[in-house]
Structure formats: structure tokens, C-alpha cells
Structure 1
Amino acid sequence: MRAIPLLALLLSGWFAVPAHADEAQDWLTRLGRAEQQQSFQGTFIYERNGSFSTHDIWHRVQNGQVRERLLQLDGSAQEVVRVDGRTQCVSGTLVAGLGDSPDSSARALDPQALKAFYDLAVIGKSRVAGRNAVIVALTPRDQYRYGFELHLDRETALPLKSLLLNDQGQLLERFQFTQLNTSDVPDDHELQPSGDCKPVVASSNKESEVDTPQAWTLDWLPPGFQLTSSRARKDAKTNVVVNSLMYGDGLARFSVFFEPLNGAAVTETRTQLGPTVAVSRRLTAPEGEVMVTVVGEIPIGTAERIALSVRSGSTPVKP
């Protein structure tokens, strides 16, 4: 299970029929509200890089609060519980890699903004988990982001199936319900974490979060991507401060991390696992050498160009 919310994620080249554009926007608007309005429980499969896993999910909207529990059913036991998008506890291999992220709740989609960078179209209908669905395609207008095919429940607009595709239409990631119940609201017992679910320390801990002026800038960004957050975190053991910047286009996201090397011998990397890429390079700054790493669900060529555009200082270098 990935350390991000499934409904935040859900959200090839099909021809976008103009007459269908308004309908596609309406469905995406409904999708953006669905997680905040609709309780449900069900079972879904997740596929990435040829590997499958099966998960149960309980999602309850009550008194303005959204509470969610996910449990992996095969392989090692993995569990996560979130309240209003904030991680409360994790178990299994999630413990080491999952932090408490305020941005983990489903993002409110802005179809009007997305239209500038994606062609939006309703391209058909389908049936998933015994429920009727409408198929919405989001096809990127450039090579800097991936495309989506979303099968949205006609009754609730919840994503019954999501395919993430590269520019050649190849499948990078699949999310698909095999069973979905929107009639019965999950009860307290179903949403209660198991004893193995370990509490997550809030990221607002003053000993780990530090305020530093932004010392980095990017000379190039893919069109439509904007800075959404910046952080500086100090390692309690080494006192090393790692800066990070997060960017998004309203649907896709990537982060850039800056870690001082302090003389350490490291190797530049270029890796991809399913849709997730990681590209790193050494950069010499006034304060010493730094490892710059770009991580996100973007094409690897996009990540490489971003990494090469990083500069020390707050003023971008003119091309």
C-alpha cells in the first residue's frame, strides 16, 4: 500500500470531443466532492509494476469529519487510519516510510484549471464491481505529465476504477474496486485500528520542523505546476536539515529534496517503479555539496529536466 490516500490519487491519446467537455467537467467536480460527502466500504485491488495487492477500506463521513481505515489483505499485514486526511497510525512496512501529511486528504479538483493542461472527455460507459460507471479521460496536452482513465460510479461519482497511463497508452498503475457498498455506513468497530497500528507523531513537532529561508529555486517547471508547500526538517540524530519543495498542477505532484552531503560519498540515481520516479544529482552550493532528489508521479524525462534546473538562491537564473 502506498503512503498516500487512494481517492486523492484517483482522480493514450483519446480524442476529446468538445460536446462532451462540459459533461466531463461536471463529473470531475462531483468526484472532487465525493470523498467529503459519501460514506462507503469495500474491497479494491491495486496494481503497479506487475505486482498486485488487495485491500479493504472503510470510509465514514459523519458530523463534518472524514475517518478512513485501510487494511491490506495479502502479503505482510499493513494498515493505516486517517482522520480528515491526517494519518493517525500505521502498521507493517508503512511505519518506516509514512509520515503525517496535511496534504494527504483528497484535493478539490478544479476542472477549469485542468483544462489548460489536460483534454477532458467522457468517452464511454462501463460496469465495475457490479455498478454502472461513466468513463472520463484526462489526456495531457504535453509530454510532462501522465494521462488518466477514470471509471466513476454513476450514483455517487466515487472512482470505481482508475488507470494511470504513459504517453504511449501503457498502463503504469491500476486501482479497481471489486466490491463497493455505499448503503451501510462503517461503524466504530470497523474503523477502530488494530493493536499493531502504531501512532504517528505529529509533524508539527518543533524539534523536527525548523524555519529556514528558501535557499533554492528551479529555473524550469513544467507548465501549470506551482509551488504548494516548502519544509525544512532536522534529523534529531545528525542535526542535518533536509529542505523540501512540493509542486502540483491540480492533479499530478512531485517533490524536490535537498540534503547536505557533508563529505559523504553518494551516487546519483535515476530510477522508476511503476509511475513513481526518483532522479538525484549532486549540486555544489556556497554552503557545500548537496544531493538534490526529485520524486513524483511524472515522466522520468520531466524529473531529469527539473533536477538539472535547480539553482542555489531565491532568484531564478534567466534563460
Structure 2
Amino acid sequence: MSVPGVIRVLLACVLCQQAWAEEDLWPAMQRTASAARELNYQGLFIYHNGAIIRSVQITHINEAGREFTRNVVLDGRPREVFSEGDDIVIFNAKNDKVVIEKRRGQNLFPAMLPTQLQPLKQNYKLKFIGQERIAGRLAQVIDMIPNDNLRYQYRVWSDSEYGLLLKMSMLDT
């Protein structure tokens, strides 16, 4: 086979592999949505929005299908958030006040993605960007591109081994 022929074959293989990878992105996204709720993990979450930067220590335990989470806000006013399933207890150490409330569809990091992805599938397409290291872990990078101008575009970094969401950014201005 000639050199141009070999190059065409290699290019075709690369394009087929890329198309195959993009077809399998929704199962990867489903794995990411489930990992945040099913795995046990502990780590530091950094939230950045404009001039606001906050760090939160996260501990998540799933014991026989029951989820327990403890989030400790490490910046500014001391505060801890405990949850079991949909029940949330917020402890504000400043005034020794405890607030108990029901979660209202609020998804805390890393459980940002809904477990039912059908609405996302209807409104977004996925694009594989590549792999990067985040927090010392190899992550696959996927863009969620909206099908219209009514939604934001997101970039998602999920752990290649476990599927856990490691980083998420809104890309629109």
C-alpha cells in the first residue's frame, strides 16, 4: 500500500474511533450522574463564581442505598450541612441556630446531573473534548452543547476510572 493509502486508512480509523466514542457519551454521562450518588468519597470542592470563591469539604457515604452527606464550608461564615436522602440539616455556628428543611430539587456538587438524563438528551448534544488531569485524577472531558439559545453550554470533567464528577464549568458568557 502506498504512503497516501496508509494515511487514508489511519485517518479513517481515527474518525471511526472518534465517532464511536461520541456515540457512547450518554452512557458515560449516566455513569457520572450515578457515581455522585452511589460512591463513597471525601474531598475538597472549590466553588468559583465571579469574585466569589468558596471551599467546601465534602464527605459522602452510600450505605445500602441510603445517602449521607456532610459539607463543611471552610471560608467565611462557619456552616455545616448534613443530609440523609432529601432531608437537610444546616448548622450555623455563628448564632447556634439549626435549620431543618427538605431539599427542593437542589443538586449539590458533585451530584449536579439528574439521574434521569432524558430531558438533557432532548436539549443537549455531547462532544468528547479529550482527557485531562484534575485533582490528580485522569478525567474525560465532555461538552454539553445546547440545541437552542435558551440554555447554557457546560464542560464536564468526570473521573475516567470511577465516573465521579471532578469539575464542571458553564462556558457561555
Bin for the TM-score computed over the shorter chain:
0.7 to 0.9
For 2:51 and 2:93, how far apart are their aligned partners in 1?
22
Counterpart amino acid of 1:108? T
Contact 1:61–1:67, Cα closer than 8 Å, also in 2: yes
Aligned partner of 1:108 among 115, 127, 134: 115
Q: Greater helix percent: which structure?
A: 2
Counterpart in the other structure of 1:197:
none
1:211-259 CA distance string (max 9 Å, x none): xxxxxxxxxxxxxxxxxxxxxxxxxxxxxxxxxxxxxxxxxxxxxxxxx
Counterpart amino acid of 1:79? E
Quote how far apart the aligned CAs of 1:20 are: 3.7
Counterpart in the other structure of 2:73:
72
Contact 2:123–2:147, Cα closer than 8 Å, also in 1: yes
1:100-142 CA distance string (max 9 Å, x none): 22533553131x5423211112111110110000001101111
1:253-276 CA distance string (max 9 Å, x none): xxxxxxxxxxxxxxxxxxxxxxxx
Paired-residue identity, % = 26
Secondary structure of the corresponding residue to residue 108 of structure 1: coil
Counterpart in the other structure of 1:127:
133
Contact 2:38–2:62, Cα closer than 8 Å, also in 1: yes
1:30-63 CA distance string (max 9 Å, x none): 0121123200001121001221111101100112
Counterpart in the other structure of 1:221:
none
For 1:88 and 1:96, how far apart are their aligned partners in 2?
7
For 2:99 and 2:53, how far apart are their aligned partners in 1?
20
Contact 1:80–1:88, Cα closer than 8 Å, also in 2: yes
Quote how far apart the aligned CAs of 1:96 are: 9.9
Point out where structure 2 has 5 or more consecutive residues left out of the alignment.
Answer: 1-17
For 2:124 and 2:59, how far apart are their aligned partners in 1?
31
Secondary structure of the corresponding residue to residue 155 of structure 2: strand
Point out where structure 1 has 5 or more consecutive residues left out of the alignment.
Answer: 1-16, 171-319
Pair 1:165 & 2:171 matched: yes
Contact 1:70–1:81, Cα closer than 8 Å, also in 2: yes
Counterpart amino acid of 1:52? I
Pair 1:27 & 2:33 matched: no
Contact 1:66–1:85, Cα closer than 8 Å, also in 2: no
Q: 1:127 to 1:109 in 2, by over 3 A?
A: farther
Contact 1:139–1:148, Cα closer than 8 Å, also in 2: yes
Contact 1:127–1:133, Cα closer than 8 Å, also in 2: yes
Quote how far apart the aligned CAs of 1:72 are: 1.1
Counterpart amino acid of 1:114? L
For 2:150 and 2:163, how far apart are their aligned partners in 1?
27
Aligned partner of 2:162 among 136, 148, 156: 156
Secondary structure of the corresponding residue to residue 75 of structure 2: coil
For 1:32 and 1:70, how far apart are their aligned partners in 2?
19
Counterpart amino acid of 1:22? E
Counterpart amino acid of 1:30? R
> Taking structure 1 as the reference length, what is the TM-score of the superposition?
0.43
Counterpart amino acid of 2:102? D
Any residues of structure 2 matched to 1:102-251 within 5 Å, and which?
102-104=104-106, 106=111, 107-110=114-117, 112-166=118-172, 170=173
Counterpart amino acid of 2:149? Q
Counterpart amino acid of 1:100? K
Counterpart amino acid of 1:109? Q
For 1:98 and 1:49, how far apart are their aligned partners in 2?
30
RMSD: 2.4
* Number of aligned positions between the proteins: 149
